[in-house]
Amino acid sequence: MSTDLAPQVRRRRTFAIISHPDAGKTTLTEKLLLFSGAIQIAGSVKARKATRHATSDWMEIEKQRGISVASSVMQMEYRDCVINLLDTPGHQDFSEDTYRVLTAVDAALMVIDAANGVEPQTRRLLQVCRARNTPILTFVNKMDREVKDPLALMDEIERELGMTVVPFTWPVGMAKFFGGVLDLRKDQMRVFSPGEDRVAGTEEIVDGIHNPVLKERFGAAYEQAEGEIELVRDAAPSFEAAEFLGGRQTPMFFGSAVNNFGVQEVLDALVDLAPPPAERRAMQRVVQPDETKFTGVVFKIQANMDPAHRDRIAFVRVASGKFTRGMRLKVARSGKELRPNTVVTFMSQRRELLDEAFAGDIIGIPNHGVLQLGDTLSEGESLQFTGLPFFAPEMFRSVEVADPLKTKQLRAGLTQLGEEGAIQVFRPVAGTVLLLGAVGQLQFEVVAHRLEHEYSCKARIMPARYNVARWVTCPPENGGDKELQRFIDGNSHRVALDAVDAPTVLLEYAGELRAMQDNWPKIQFHALREHA
């Protein structure tokens, strides 16, 4: 095993920003890029965002996909580090997609709107992070507004998210009277001034958080902050790296992204606190990030970027080794070989980053279907990373073509969209009508829209009677495939095969599932399917 790659691994930070819509994720993303010096991209984040609040929000996203693929992964250099920032879809109906993105990061940055506190989408995403013990940094945004009391906010985050909050900065005042933040670690106050013109290193700093000039200058707001800090110091535990890395403690920062305030501290915290890429578990063994041989896993697929070509890009998180253009790679699932020469790399400031990638980096490999979600790539080793989940859908529709001559297009389109993870497609073992399964309603609309525009196939999407799905398996000690076949034969009217031919039972009510489990004790029912 090599340690030659260790310095490259150590300097990488790969993270996602998570938040409820409107908390300031886009703004903060843009400012992080600005502060790291990657200013040229800031505009594209904004351009994409400009369309997002339209009512036909996803259609606009579709139009903007050329931009969104570029800004869905951003790479920047800051201090000695290479930072990979992964965007997550804003809308909750695409939370499955978000979940998969979160499997590709080593840390998350949670943005909270200080006026609204912990909102539903944040709560949901946080559960995902907690389940994986992802370390989380917290940025409390919009302190230039009338917001909740900081102690109350801290309490709310602790209570709602079940993590201990460790404040690294503390606000002095808010809204019109927002004076800045006290930096509890550096023992200084950073004075707030509104506006977007300032960048790194131009803030006014007052040394000493107990400096008498602060009281003179900020009066009651400062006195209150000082009192609150005392309370917090007594009550909150001190920061411990192990607790943070285990997802049990979150360092908290206050700021105002739109005013470039507090952004630098977050960037520094990412470098100083967030972990570099760690080992990853595959079915066969544990893979170290600094092993010489390349391995990676596909966590996202985006198809038809260019409607004129049936292309698609697989987003691969490098798990180990070094990726170089034109190297020969093997897809573990199919045994197929791949030699990607044209690789989509994501924004970076320095030329040399474009031709190679290390653990933690994301590369985009254009392909025509060779790569699927959850696929593992290696230099030849048979290896399958685990942990890329598919959730049992909670909504179902049946789908037919308006024009029967287009049946072939429908199948082709749905296969692609299914492989991309945009929707789950089920083929009943008895019957011909395809079933679509989703976690959120919008997914159906996106699929109908894309079938029409990318596959010239107008689909009729109709209600289906199902509400519950479970993947079914049977372990060898219970009778294995033979018992599973017996189950399928006995329930053929409600068994379907998914995109990778995994048998799934579809039911109307949760009660039915319980009865079925009682009747078929040897069969296992799964709400989650991992990898292909």
Under the binding rule (CB under 6 A), the answer on residue 72 touching ligand GDP is: no
Q: Report the residue from 48, 142, 148, 397 that binds ligand GDP according to the rule CB under 6 A.
A: 142
Interface region with ligand GDP, contact rule CB under 6 A, candidates 23-31, 150-158, 236-244, 489-497? 23-31
19 binds ligand GDP (CB under 6 A): yes
Q: Is residue 61 near ligand GDP by the rule CB under 6 A?
A: no
Cβ-contact 142, 115 below 8 angstroms:
yes
Give per-residue burial for 124-153: e unless 16+ CB within 10 Å, then b: ebbebbeeeebbbbbbbbbbbeebbebbeb
When binding is defined by CB under 6 A, the residue of 8, 18, 24, 318 that contacts ligand GDP is 24
**In terms of CB distance, is 23 or 359 closer to ligand GDP?**
23
Query: Taking CB under 6 A as the criterion, which residues in 308-347 touch ligand GDP?
Result: none
91 labelled binding-site residue:
yes
| Contact call for residue 114 and ligand GDP (CB under 6 A) | no
Contact window for ligand GDP (CB under 6 A) among 137-145, 171-179, 205-213, 351-359:
137-145
Residue pair 307/453 in contact (Cβ under 8 Å)? The answer is yes
- Tokens encoding 342: 């044209």
In the block, residue with structure tokens 């049936």 = 310
Which of 13, 48, 49, 450 touches ligand GDP by CB under 6 A?
A: 49
Pick between residue 65 and residue 310 the one whose CB is nearest to ligand GDP: 65
Burial class (CB in 10 A: 0-12, 13-18, 19+), 512: middle
Q: Does 21 bind ligand GDP (CB under 6 A)?
A: yes
- Residue 233, class by beta-carbon neighbours within 10 Å (0-12 exposed, 13-18 middle, 19+ buried)? exposed
Of 208, 203, 204, 171, the closest CA to residue 188 belongs to 208
Q: Is 20 assigned to a binding site?
A: yes
Distance, in Å, from the CA atom of 28 to the CA atom of 38, rounded to the nearest integer, reads: 13
Which residue type occupies 416? Q
Q: Tell me the three state secondary structure of residue 449.
A: helix
Instruction: List the structure tokens of 371.
Output: 């790569």
Contact with ligand GDP (CB under 6 A): which of 132, 145, 411, 458?
145
Which residues inside 388-417 make contact with ligand GDP, applying CB under 6 A? none
Q: Give the nearer residue to ligand GDP in terms of CB position, either 114 or 417.
A: 114
25 among the known binding-site residues? Answer: yes
Q: Is 141 annotated as a binding residue?
A: yes
Orientation of helix 25-36 relative to helix 263-272, angle to 10°: 70
Feature table: binding site for GTP: 19-26, 87-91, 141-144
Which residues of the chain form contacts with ligand GDP (CB under 6 A)?
Answer: 19, 21-27, 49, 90, 141-142, 144-145, 256-259
